[in-house]
């Protein structure tokens, strides 16, 4: 077997490791609200999220093309595969660090930061960062999606409170718990569309850079299946530290609040995937929606100290993963020469 085969295989294995950590790291995005409101039991919620992620992975082709062909341009050959390898491992490392501390940071931005960091340190001889795409498809959505999530979460929750202001609380809670089954399923689907697509984009980038396909945007069928399976497996394994943070530590969620947050977040995910083709963060979107929903009770209903720690993790994810990837590039570069 050729050296290119082993190099591409190493990148694909690293990408699947990232996919798995993305699953258990970001499982909370889809199910924390449903678990905290007791709309679903933990294992049922995880199983539903895994299925939604598996199905959604098959629907995220446009986002995958943006990741595979739009963020960095690499020269063909084994040395460039070392750049991708270091970038992906940088994201995996940051995912594990933030998971340990229970911080719902963005796996997406960790991946993008890792790729950008490794590409920059490798130098122009191997590749260049497509800053126009980074700004349009990553940095602007990174700022805009939490703001939109917060405002829409606040607006939808106000509308629900006004519409059902004379309803029976017990009956309404039962109804919204049922409705959460649908909203959580949509959130799981949106997570699969967004997050599995990012791993697919990395695999396609590796195949193209290694010379195993001539098209930088074609996604082979086995990439869909493998990526979807690993993301679903990671999701089902759970990410309880982050689930506790999203489900209980930001605000005390009720069924109506959970339904509003999930509905808003899934809508933003679908819009960005199919209208803008932008790979946004599911973590930022659902967390900001939860904050917006909580702010309708009263401002101090949101535990802003917890929210502040989450925002710090958001801001540091891109550069931190990039710095880790820089170190890993120098560590593993001899294996890709």
3 state DSSP class of 280: coil
The pLDDT mean for the chain works out to 83
More reliable by pLDDT, 154 or 69: 154
Count the domains in the chain: 1
The values of phi and psi at residue 129, to 5°, are: -85, 135
The residue range of the domain holding 304 is: 3-336
Give the range among 101-115, 174-188, 228-242 with minimum mean pLDDT: 228-242
Which stretches does DSSP call E strand in 56-123?
Answer: 72-74
Kindly indicate the confidence band of residue 203, based on its pLDDT and cuts at 50, 70 and 90.
Answer: very high
Residue 140 CA to residue 147 CA, distance in Å, equals 11
Summarize pLDDT for 216-229 with one digit per residue, the tens: 778 888 998 898 88
Termini Cα distance of the chain: 16
At 258, list the tokens. Answer: 């959970």
Confidence check: pLDDT of 93 > 60: yes
Task: Report the pLDDT averaged over residues 265-279.
Answer: 85
Most confident range, picked from 37-41, 192-196, 311-315, 318-322: 318-322
Q: How confident is the model at residue 249 (pLDDT cuts 50, 70, 90)?
A: low
- Using one digit for the tens of pLDDT, what is the confidence trace for 287-308? 888 888 888 876 665 566 666 6
Model confidence, pTM: 0.84
Confidence class for position 23, pLDDT limits 50, 70, 90: confident
């Amino acid at each position: 077997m050729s050296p290119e085969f082993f190099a591409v295989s190493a990148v694909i294995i690293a990408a699947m490791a990232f996919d798995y950590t993305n699953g258990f790291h970001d499982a909370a995005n889809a199910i924390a609200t449903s678990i905290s409101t007791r709309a679903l039991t933990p294992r049922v919620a995880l199983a539903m999220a895994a299925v939604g992620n598996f199905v959604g992975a098959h629907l995220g082709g446009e986002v995958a093309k943006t990741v595979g062909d739009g963020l960095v341009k690499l020269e063909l050959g084994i040395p460039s595969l070392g750049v991708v390898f270091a970038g992906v491992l940088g994201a995996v490392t940051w995912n594990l660090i933030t998971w340990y501390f229970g911080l719902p940071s963005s796996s997406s931005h960790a991946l993008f930061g890792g790729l950008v960091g490794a590409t920059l340190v490798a130098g122009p001889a191997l590749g260049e960062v497509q800053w126009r795409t980074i700004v349009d498809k990553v940095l602007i959505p990174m700022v805009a999606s939490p703001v939109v999530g917060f405002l829409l979460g606040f607006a939808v929750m106000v509308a629900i409170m006004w519409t059902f202001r004379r309803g029976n609380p017990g009956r309404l809670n039962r109804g919204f718990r049922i409705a959460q089954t649908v909203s959580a399923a949509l959130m799981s689907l949106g997570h699969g569309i967004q997050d599995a697509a990012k791993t697919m984009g990395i695999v396609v980038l590796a195949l193209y850079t290694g010379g195993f396909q001539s098209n930088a945007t074609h996604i082979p069928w086995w990439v869909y299946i493998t990526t979807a399976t690993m993301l679903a497996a990671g999701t089902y394994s759970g990410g309880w530290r982050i689930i506790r943070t999203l489900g209980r530590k930001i605000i005390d969620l009720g069924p109506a609040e959970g339904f509003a947050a999930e509905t808003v977040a899934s809508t933003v995910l679908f819009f960005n995937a199919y209208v803008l083709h932008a790979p946004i963060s599911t973590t930022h979107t659902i967390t900001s929606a939860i904050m917006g929903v909580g702010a309708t009770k009263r401002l101090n209903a949101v535990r802003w100290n917890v929210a502040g720690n989450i925002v710090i993790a958001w801001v540091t994810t891109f550069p931190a993963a990039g710095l880790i990837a820089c170190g890993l590039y120098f560590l593993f570069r001899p294996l890709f020469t």
